[in-house]
Amino acid sequence: MEIKAVSKYVRMSPTKARDLARAIQGKRAGEALQVVEVNKRKAAVCIGKTLKSAIANAENNAELSADRLWVSQAVVENGPTIPRYWPRARGSASPIRKKTSHIRVTLTDEKPSRKK
């Protein structure tokens, strides 16, 4: 059974969060939580919240034990980009793109198979 949790419009660049999402894929939910809690990055806080939400969904909605859960997918997708402008010399302006991301964590009760 697959259980999902999604965090949308997180004010963080997706490229900065993808390496941590790849690191927790295929691990047990408890191990993934430890990896996220030890990490010092801002992405670790956001991915940790989404992972805890997925675990809570599994326990409350699907009545599964947290000990038997595996992280089958942890995906960070591009969200909308907020355009801003920074003033420059001689009255001009340069664009600044404030990126957002959507974090999706999928848990399963069976060990995910490794794709080659």
The region of weakest confidence among 24-28, 63-67, 91-95 is 63-67
Contacts of 9 (CB under 8 A, 6+ apart): 79, 80, 100, 102
CA atoms lying within 13 Å on the CB side of residue 70:
12
CATH class of the domain at 2-108: alpha beta
pLDDT of residue 116: 46
Confidence label for 112 from pLDDT (cuts 50, 70 and 90): confident
- Residue 7 to residue 97: CA distance in whole angstroms: 20
pLDDT of residue 37: 94
- Residue 56 to residue 116: CA distance in whole angstroms: 31
pLDDT of residue 45: 95
pLDDT of residue 20: 94
pLDDT of residue 115: 59
Q: Is the dihedral of CA 59, 67, 21, 96 positive or negative?
A: positive
Residue type, 74: A
Q: Does the pLDDT of residue 95 top 50, yes or no? A: yes
For the chain, domain boundaries: 2-108
Q: Answer for the pair 106, 18: CB distance below 8 angstroms, yes or no.
A: no
Q: Does the pLDDT of residue 67 top 50, yes or no? A: yes
- Residue 33 to residue 44: CA distance in whole angstroms: 10
CA atoms lying within 13 Å on the CB side of residue 56:
8
Average pLDDT over residues 6-32: 94
Q: Which residues of 54-88 are buried (b: 16+ CB within 10 A; e: fewer)?
A: bbebbeeeeebeeeebbbbbbbbeebeeeeeeeee
41-62 pLDDT, tens digit per residue, is: 999 999 999 999 999 999 999 8
